[in-house]
Structure 1
Amino acid sequence: MAVETHVLDDDCEALSGWGRTAPTLARVRRPRGQVEAVEAVLGCGPRGAVARGLGRAYGDAAQNAGGTVLDMTGLDRILALDTTAGLVVCEAGVSLHRLMEALLPLGWFVPVTPGTRYVTVGGAIAADIHGRNHHGSGSFGRHVTALELLTADGGIRTVRPGTPLFDATTGGLGLTGVILSATLRLLPVETSLMRVDTERVPDLDALMARLAADDHAYRYSAARIDLLARGAATGRSVLTRGDHAPYDALPRHHRARRAPLAFRPVRLPAPPPYVPGGLLGRASVGLFNELWYRTAPRAATGRLQSLPAFFHPLDGVPHWNRIHGREGFLQYRFVVPYGQEETLRRIVRRIADRGCPSFLAVLKRFGAADPGWLSFPLPGWTLALDLPTGLPGLGRFLDALDEEVAGTGGRVHLAEDSRVRPETLAAMYPRLDEFRALRATLDPRSVLTSDLARRLRL
């Protein structure tokens, strides 16, 4: 795929999202503190600037062709911790991994985590990330009690929940300002283990019934779906649900009794830099899905599992995104409201009939909508799937799914997008005009911008 080029200095770099699609060139600045961040924004030039964390957004939200990208990972200090109130103040470049390392030994855990812990706090707020606990805990922004925001004029504002600027910033993809630091409300835990229930579910209807009936009994819940299964097995899945294990639940001679809050992630060898055609064709994904389903327990309750294995299994494989081959992959994540179950069934059947080789497909239920104007979650069913970009006719196929999703009042996830059409966006995000108006007032010259912002005319 061609790299968009502009007249740049010698210090430009090629950047892409985690899906490795649509790379573009930009000047990368790496501020080490607030003063340098202010200087970078004020001196960014006519193509503007956008903040970037660890690069785990799948699409082009943290790219800025021909302009400036602020690598915020240098602002990585934990500034204060109140273990009585369960609050932490940290800079925006601190990763969730770093927070877990620092906070778990003290009996605290991050309130929301996505499928990777290699996300910065600033990125988590800008994308308003969600996890397996959205049905009970909402998205990341609900647990932010304050944040410091560097705006386009070089000013630094303290922004609090309940204000328009806060609601535009959580989920606002870095377009209202550069997040410098945040105060987060934490979750108390007694161990670094999870108590997990797992079961095989034969089809999509049975899966939705189980989730609807029992999700309230679990803090975390998600199902991995075989999207190549067809006929009576359409939507068959492995459903995994759990909660943090209390100390009293540990068996008498379990090693974790000696160090119940130890955090021991496992790292496996990285895949090769380039795999011709990728490792995940239809045949290999079909075989993997069959093995995944058949080797999962029919029903198992109360099994103990480490935090990394439960939340972040792919984090153990560095650069796992290479397995899709040189052309990369798209993550397509959408949500349809409750009451639109037939639409979900129809989409799953269409994906299965087309034979889309999605290595990772996950279905979850969302709870109440979050206040962020561009936040993704709304009450309903959300499905995420990875698709190699080289699939014939993939763009037309996903455009048609966009129309179907938007027609139900649903939406796609902008932080993972690199191809949705701007004319579809307004139907998906009804507060889009409010976001554009606030941004025009706050930043009339569009100093803070990105490839995604230009593509979707945000």
Structure 2
Amino acid sequence: MPQVETEQTQQRLGYEPDAPTGPASFESWGRYPAYNANIIPIHWQGDFLDAASKLHNGALPVGMGRSYGDVCLLKDGNLLVTTGMNRIIDFDPETGLLTAEAGMSLAQILDFIVPRGFFLPVTPGTKYITLGGAIANDIHGKNHHVAGTFGCHVTQFELIRSNGDRKLCTPTENSDLYAATIGGLGLTGFISWATLRLKPIVSRKIDYEGIQFRGIDEFLDLTEESKDIEYTVSWVDVTSTGRNFCRGIFMQGDHSPKKDELKPSPESKLVFPFEAPSFALNPFSVGAFNTAFYHKQIRKRVMSLLDYEPFFYPLDKVLHWKRMYGKRGLLQFQYVIPWEYAREGTVAILKEVAKSGLASFLAVLKAFGDFPSPGLMSFPKPGITLALDFPIKPGKSFPLFERLADMTLEFGGRLYPAKDAAMTARQFQAFYPQWQEFARYRDPLLTSSFWERVTGDRPTL
């Protein structure tokens, strides 16, 4: 099949298709930390093997840089940028199996599959990530309680090791590398291509319902009531206290069964135009936004028919929205706490956030189901997950994050490496005690700033 056009996607994300290679700055989505690296574009499988034979100071395959912290960074190392590997290899409309190169973005996959009556089995809150990145971080979405993680739907992939070994990885063939690579942060080898089992649809529309709730107990009741609905997620106000503590909007939906025109999504034309000043996001402005957002629903329950774009990817509508956090960037904090302590832990952490005075208006609360991931290092487990975005405030943000991470640990939870720029080595190794087992599968050439920060492990080539 023909190569899928990527120039528009690269330009709207800030990457130029013919950008010079060599030493340059490569930002994660959170823009912190800021590191330089040697940028090496990868267009074919052979490019990786050629690069691997010449590099002896560490390398990391990366996609579109949408991880929030340093899992996609390697300070003064070699970043192997895979977005040039964006070709579809095979598609079977009878089985819904799509095989594509790992540098293809979810946006490009959607443009191909939606007109053919299919959708992604699991999707995160942005479509601007690569297939390889989705596997390496074992992403989750609004339907974890019924579909599990992205890795649950990856039937096979090819993993190329820096010594030239090529491994076909499936649940039954090279199953140890299969498990280590799903959620393996790009450290087990170079994913050249993967096969994904898609979900059939007949419409772009989502049967949507938004429900206002007040308090964690109402959220938990709605979670229980919606077990048979495919997609559920909640926005929660983390600035309010008293009777408005933990108020929010519970959003749920299913793919519409009514046949509708299936067509690719239009290109987004909205761009956040400038770096917002550091004082723009403060408790007053964010509190006002949260109040307005909660009350935008006039009624407690609202039902409508939504296109899938605003339902799954509301932030993708505004390109470069991270600029609203200013030049210092942002930090994201995401935990999962198991059901045994989920209510108690969530209330305690939300109170700690409100007490801190740090502003977060992108707060997402949802439940993870009992749907095991095939990944050795995968983040989700049954319980409640909360994701918060904060502007970086010197002297305040990192102490808060350390407190929140320790509280998460006390409640038996863990943090999501793909969203992290702050957890300590002590915390990571407690969250993921299997890390030493995983380290046995790390390719000797591959490493990342995150991995070195939380383990002290270095490349051996």
Q: 1:49-448 maps to which residues of 2 (within 5 A)?
A: 49-162=59-172, 163-211=175-223, 213-247=224-258, 257=260, 259=261, 261-265=262-266, 267-277=268-278, 279-300=280-301, 302-340=303-341, 341-368=343-370, 369-390=372-393, 392-439=395-442, 443=443, 446-448=444-446
> SS of 2:304's equivalent?
strand
Q: Distance in 2 between matches of 1:456 and 1:288?
A: 36
Distance 1:214 1:49 in 2: 47
Identity of aligned residues (%): 36
**Is 2:448 aligned against 1:450?**
yes
- Among 30, 34, 37, the residue aligned to 1:23: 34
CA distance in 2: counterparts of 1:42 and 1:231, whole angstroms: 61
TM-score after normalising by structure 2: 0.91
The 3 A distance-change label for structure 1 pair 205 and 300 is closer
Alpha-carbon distance in 2 for matches of 1:93, 1:198 = 35
1:44 shift after superposition? 2.0
Distance 1:228 1:268, change over 3 A: farther
Distance across 2 between alignment mates of 1:206 and 1:356: 25
Taking the aligned partners of 2:187 and 2:382, their CA distance within structure 1 comes to 25
Cα pair 2:21 2:40 within 8 Å, conserved: no
| Bigger shift: residues 202-211 or 409-418 | 202-211
Q: TM-score, normalised by structure 1?
A: 0.91
Deviates more, 1:288-297 or 1:128-137: 288-297
2:60 and 2:448 in contact (8 A); partners too: yes
Residues 329-371 of structure 1 show CA distances to partners (whole Å, capped at 9, x for unaligned) of 0010001000112111111111112222102000010012313
* 1:149-175 superposed Cα distances (whole Å, 9 cap, x missing partner): 111212221111251111110111001
Query: In the aligned structure 2, how far is the partner of 1:242 from the partner of 1:297?
Result: 19
RMSD: 1.6
The superposition leaves residues 27-65 of structure 1 with CA deviations (integer Å, 9 ceiling, x where unpaired) of: 11112101112111222232x110111110000111111
Which has the higher mean CA deviation after the structures are superposed, 273-282 or 102-111?
273-282
CA distance in 2, matches of 1:27, 1:126: 21
Q: Residue 14 of structure 2 aligns with which residue?
A: none
| Bigger mean CA deviation after superposition, 160-169 or 187-196 | 160-169
Q: How many Å separate the matches in 2 of 1:306 and 1:266?
A: 14
Whole-angstrom CA distance in 1 between matches of 2:188 and 2:22: 26
SS at structure 2 position matched to 1:23: coil
Unaligned runs of 5+ in 1: 1-8, 249-256
CA distance in 2, matches of 1:16, 1:27: 13
Question: Structure 1, residues 56-101: CA drift from partner, whole Å, max 9, x if none?
Answer: 0000111111211011000000111011011000000111111111
Residues 426-452 of structure 1 show CA distances to partners (whole Å, capped at 9, x for unaligned) of 22113222102333xxx3xx3101111
Q: Does structure 1 residue 37 correspond to structure 2 residue 48?
A: yes
Q: What is the CA-CA distance between 1:269 and the residue it aligns to?
A: 2.6
Q: SS of 2:83's equivalent?
A: helix
Q: Is the 8 A contact 1:74 1:93 kept in 2?
A: yes
Q: Is the 8 A contact 1:44 1:67 kept in 2?
A: no
Q: CA deviation at 1:109?
A: 0.4
Asked if the contact 2:429/2:454 (under 8 Å) is kept, the reply is no
SS of 1:37's equivalent in the other structure is helix
Q: 2-side partners of 1:431 and 1:370: how far apart?
A: 15
Please give the alpha-carbon distance, in whole angstroms, between the structure 1 residues aligned to 2:244 and 2:135: 38
SS in 2 for 1:79: strand
Q: CA deviation at 1:265?
A: 4.0
Q: CA deviation at 1:16?
A: 2.3
CA distance in 1, matches of 2:346, 2:151: 27
Q: 8 Å contact 2:222–2:250 — kept in the other structure?
A: no
Cα distance in 1 between the residues matched to 2:440 and 2:410: 25
Q: Cα offset for 1:106?
A: 0.7
3-state DSSP of counterpart to 2:271 = coil
Q: Which residue identity lines up with residue 61 of structure 2 in the other structure?
A: A
Shift of 1:268: 4.1
Alignment CA distance shift 1:190-1:297 (3 Å): farther
